[in-house]
Chains A and B, each alone.
Chain A
């Protein structure tokens, strides 16, 4: 069965599974229905990904899912990813550095010596920038916000680029759900190690209330993080080596991003960002 399927698959998605082990057809049981795209792309073939499970430490493939190429196989724009990360860091950054200008430095209200007659340079205050101990001219003023909004479609492109990069570099995995049998963190650590999932893993689920066991397991392990789908961002995707999405999370991501890529009322979204308006 694998041979027949393999001929239809794109070569680059199959490579990661050529671990030297020859999989026998019996091992692959299509437990889950294959996921088909609601709105397939007209110009590209969909990417395919194994649906895995976290039930056992050894990996078990439950089925094959299709991923939309416009989201998971776009041009990996590293510069847009960089812009997104800079934006994520800077938009909430407030610089508290502060230097005193000549009006803020203590003293310097009186003319230090008379204008004429002394042979000295003329001065109006001892705190002018010319003086030692005087004010700074164009120094930082606290607090200085660095808020700005990256254009909406740059942010959308950042998300799609990051997802495409993750999938291309075999760091994207889709899982049926985040249920694990124990609440031991060692279970997850062994699982991640055996599957060669990279030291840090980001688990993304469609709901924001995670199952009990995985919450307990990842509580003290700082390189395993749980995130609801609405918190998915470029910085987190790049910070963690592996990205693990649940099937429902993939559905939501595709629905939302495809809506934004194909909407015809972008006027509100492209308009200047107003802090007090939705």
Chain B
């Protein structure tokens, strides 16, 4: 194709040259001039096409336009093609990366009114207290914690004082229990001995008759004990009265009433 064009051009040039130096016949010249004009138009178109192709071929990058721009540290999409290229985030990022050459007004970098309001609201909720308030609160909290620990320590120390006493009481209780149990046991043994003596040593203590007598004897024993307790009570009461009469010699009337009651 190139060769064809080349030869064509040579022929046309020759033709033009010959036309210039031909005879001064007007018709001839006119026709030849017309021919030359026509042919130059055709030549121009083909040439232009060839030039355009060559210009395209001069780019040996084999890259897409946007990739080539990225390689040269330029904004890959100077005109937005996709929806996200109109978002604030993208616009700010373009400015951040490519500066003034991106053609973006730097005013977009700062938050818009809505964003500002959102940010302030968010901060108010997330950080409701000032540093001073928080510090005081922390102090109070720490003091409270220490206070509660001190209180508990105090309680414990108070209780510890009574510890020895509680120990003694407990020991006494145990001893009392033991003695009572021993006494009851001894009483029961005695009764059994008595009954045995009554029946004779050959009889089994588990026999019915034995048991009946044992019960009788137990009952009698209990009655005796009760009477003994009653007597002890009465003795204590009389003792008390005597004491009170001795002390309250002046007040005779209440003493009389008391005596009347007893009797």
Contacts from A to B (Cβ < 8 Å): 208-212, 215-216, 219, 226-228, 230-231
Q: Bound state CA distance, A216 and B50, in angstroms? A: 10
User: Shortest Cβ distance from A88 into chain B, in angstroms?
Assistant: 15
Among candidates A215, A228, A230, A231, residue contacting B57 with C-beta atoms closer than 8 Å: A215
**B68 proximity list for chain A (CB < 8 A):** 208
Contact B62 A209 (CB under 8 A): no
28 residue pairs bridging A and B, Cβ less than 8 Å apart: A208-B60, A208-B61, A208-B68, A209-B58, A209-B59, A209-B60, A210-B58, A210-B60, A211-B58, A212-B54, A212-B55, A212-B58, A215-B54, A215-B57, A215-B58, A215-B60, A216-B54, A216-B57, A219-B54, A219-B57, A226-B60, A227-B60, A228-B60, A228-B61, A230-B71, A231-B60, A231-B61, A231-B62
Name which residue of chain A comes closest to B55, CB basis: A212
**A228 proximity list for chain B (CB < 8 A):** 60-61
Q: Bound state CA distance, A227 and B61, in angstroms? A: 7
User: Shortest Cβ distance from A210 into chain B, in angstroms?
Assistant: 5
Name which residue of chain B comes closest to A216, CB basis: B54
Q: Bound state CA distance, A231 and B62, in angstroms? A: 9
**A215 proximity list for chain B (CB < 8 A):** 54, 57-58, 60
**B58 proximity list for chain A (CB < 8 A):** 209-212, 215
**B54 proximity list for chain A (CB < 8 A):** 212, 215-216, 219
In this complex, the member of B57, B58, B63 whose beta carbon has the largest number of chain A beta carbons within 10 angstroms is B58
Q: Bound state CA distance, A212 and B63, in angstroms? A: 19
Q: Bound state CA distance, A212 and B50, in angstroms? A: 12
Name which residue of chain B comes closest to A219, CB basis: B57
Q: Bound state CA distance, A215 and B63, in angstroms? A: 17
How many residues of B are counted as interface, with CB atoms below 8 angstroms from the partner's CB atoms? 11
User: Shortest Cβ distance from A35 into chain B, in angstroms?
Assistant: 25
Q: Residues 58-98 of chain B: 1 if any A CB is under 8 Å from the residue's CB, otherwise 0?
A: 11111100001001000000000000000000000000000
Q: Using a Cβ cutoff of 8 Å, how many contacts connect chains A and B?
A: 30
User: Shortest Cβ distance from B49 into chain A, in angstroms?
Assistant: 14
List residues 28-75 of chain B with CB under 8 A from any CB of chain A.
54-55, 57-63, 68, 71
User: Shortest Cβ distance from A244 into chain B, in angstroms?
Assistant: 14
Name which residue of chain A comes closest to B68, CB basis: A208
**A231 proximity list for chain B (CB < 8 A):** 60-62
Q: Bound state CA distance, A209 and B56, in angstroms? A: 9
In this complex, the member of A211, A215, A227 whose beta carbon has the largest number of chain B beta carbons within 10 angstroms is A215
Given contacts A208-B61, A231-B61, 8 further A-B contacts (CB under 8 A): A208-B68, A209-B60, A210-B58, A212-B54, A215-B54, A215-B58, A216-B54, A216-B57
User: Shortest Cβ distance from A235 into chain B, in angstroms?
Assistant: 14
**B71 proximity list for chain A (CB < 8 A):** 230
Q: Bound state CA distance, A228 and B62, in angstroms? A: 10
**A227 proximity list for chain B (CB < 8 A):** 60
**A216 proximity list for chain B (CB < 8 A):** 54, 57
**B55 proximity list for chain A (CB < 8 A):** 212
Name which residue of chain B comes closest to A226, CB basis: B60
**B57 proximity list for chain A (CB < 8 A):** 215-216, 219
**B62 proximity list for chain A (CB < 8 A):** 231
User: Shortest Cβ distance from B14 into chain A, in angstroms?
Assistant: 20
**B61 proximity list for chain A (CB < 8 A):** 208, 228, 231
Q: Bound state CA distance, A211 and B58, in angstroms? A: 7
User: Shortest Cβ distance from B50 into chain A, in angstroms?
Assistant: 9
Q: Bound state CA distance, A39 and B17, in angstroms? A: 61
**A219 proximity list for chain B (CB < 8 A):** 54, 57
Name which residue of chain A comes closest to B71, CB basis: A230
User: Shortest Cβ distance from A50 into chain B, in angstroms?
Assistant: 25
User: Shortest Cβ distance from A211 into chain B, in angstroms?
Assistant: 8
Name which residue of chain A comes closest to B1, CB basis: A220
**A211 proximity list for chain B (CB < 8 A):** 58
Name which residue of chain B comes closest to A220, CB basis: B2
Q: Bound state CA distance, A163 and B16, in angstroms? A: 53
Q: Bound state CA distance, A209 and B60, in angstroms? A: 6
Q: Bound state CA distance, A105 and B63, in angstroms? A: 42
